[in-house]
Amino acid sequence: MAADHEPHLVDIHVGSRVRMRRRSLGLSQTELASSVGLTFQQLQKYERGANRISASKLYGMAKTLQVPLSWFFEGLSSDAASAGEDQEADERKARMVQVFLASSEGLDLATLFPRIPPHQRRQILALARSLGQMDGGQDEEEAG
C-alpha cells in the first residue's frame, strides 16, 4: 500500500478530473477557485491530489463545472480505496497515470497522442523509454 505521505489514488483521480473539466471549459484555476471560496494555490493542491477535497467544495465544483458529483469518480475502480498487497503494482501504475494526466504536459500529450500516426507513436515511446532510463527511471513522485 502507498506510504502515508503519498497522495491517495482516489484524491489524485478526483483532482485530475477537476483539472480536466476545468481546462475543457476554459476556466482558469483562479476562476474555479473563487467560485467555491478557495485560493488558486489550494485548487492546485486539489488538482494534484496533494490535498483532499471536502464534500462541500466538491459539490460547489460540480455546480461550477456543470457535472454530477459522480462524474469525478468515473473510471475509478471500486476497490481503489482499499487496495491490498496483490493490487499494489496496479495501484502504482494507476497513480503514475493519474499524476501524468494531472500535469499540463501530460494532459496535452494525452490529447495530441491519438492524432500522431502509429509508427511515429512507437518512435515517441522509444524516445520516452530512453529518456526515462537516463534519469535512473524515477518517476516524479519518487524523485521528490
Condensed to tens digits (0 to 9), the pLDDT of residues 33-89 reads 999 999 999 999 999 888 999 999 999 999 999 999 999 998 877 655 554 554 567
**pLDDT tens-place string over residues 71-82:** 999 887 765 555
Which three three-digit cell numbers place residue 82? Answer: 482499499
Say what the pTM is: 0.61
Phi, psi of 140 (to 5 degrees): -60, -40
Helix axis angle for 88-102 and 40-48, nearest 10°, is 140
CA distance 10 to 80: 7
